[in-house]
Amino acid sequence: MNLNGKVCIITGSANGIGEKCALKFAEYGAELLLIDKDEKIKSISDFIEKKYNRSVRSIVGDITSPEILNLMESIVNDTLKRVDILFNNAGVIRLSDDISTLDESDWDLQFNVNLKSIFLVLKKIVPIMKNQNYGNIINTASMTGSVVGMGGLAGYCASKGGVMGLTKCVALELAKFNIRCNAVSPGAIDTDFYNNEFLKDNSNEELESGKKYMESVIPFGRYGNAEDVANVALFLATELSGYMTGQNIIVDGGYSTQ
């Protein structure tokens, strides 16, 4: 299993699952273009370059911005010349007591980053993949939204459910061009993604209490970690999953099977 010679774009790759996937894909030989609005993406790129003696391109900016999308496209056309794997991983989460208290701006933000960004990136990259008659698209959906609902996360659930619908549609549209499209759906994963949002209005004690409860209802009895998701994303990125398209792999320790 390797990604030697494969050109891979990963959005949302400066933290958590995206960061771990960037490191994992690099370990298995991928040539990377990393995109994130967090400046940390530069240090991750430098680390990968030094560790694997391989050039890594990075873009700091909002993946929904026309300027960043155009820059991504120009790097591909002028330097990389192809895209074998596109991993749409950028995402945000916002909490509310219920849908009546969810700000419209937070609803729009989650749809723009979690769902519309995938559409915008696909508009740029799919023509390149069609031209090369090959491509592998991976979208980060979520157990929450694509499989189960969860109170306080209306915008997140709706946008991630949309990711799964888009994944299936794109898989059907592009199969004739030898382009695959699948999704990975993390469950409760122990990163700062949810924690930082929760701590805006709650204490560390409340966070730890909630995590202990969640662990008690996960069949494996623990939160997942970014490595758990990266291993599944690696499988989807390689030809070991070559006959799969339009599918959703749920990485949740069994929670959604209950």
- Point out the residues that are catalytic: 156
**Distances in Å between the alpha carbon of 203 and those of 94, 147, 153, 214?**
17, 29, 19, 17
Q: CA torsion 36→199→207→202, rounded to 10°?
A: -160
Count CB-CB contacts under 10 A for residue 127: 11
* Pairing, β 248-251 against β 179-186: parallel
Which SS3 state, helix, strand or coil, does residue 112 take?
helix
What type of residue sits at position 81?
K
Task: Please give the Cα distance from 193 to 186 (Å, whole number).
Answer: 12
- How far apart CA 173 and CA 242 sit, in angstroms, is 17
Using alpha carbons, select from 77, 84, 22, 85 the residue that is nearest to residue 54: 22
Rg over CA atoms, the chain: 18
β-sheet bridge partners, residue 250: 185
Nearest to 142 by CA among 183, 182, 106, 111: 183
Angle between helices 40-52 and 16-27 (to 10 degrees): 20
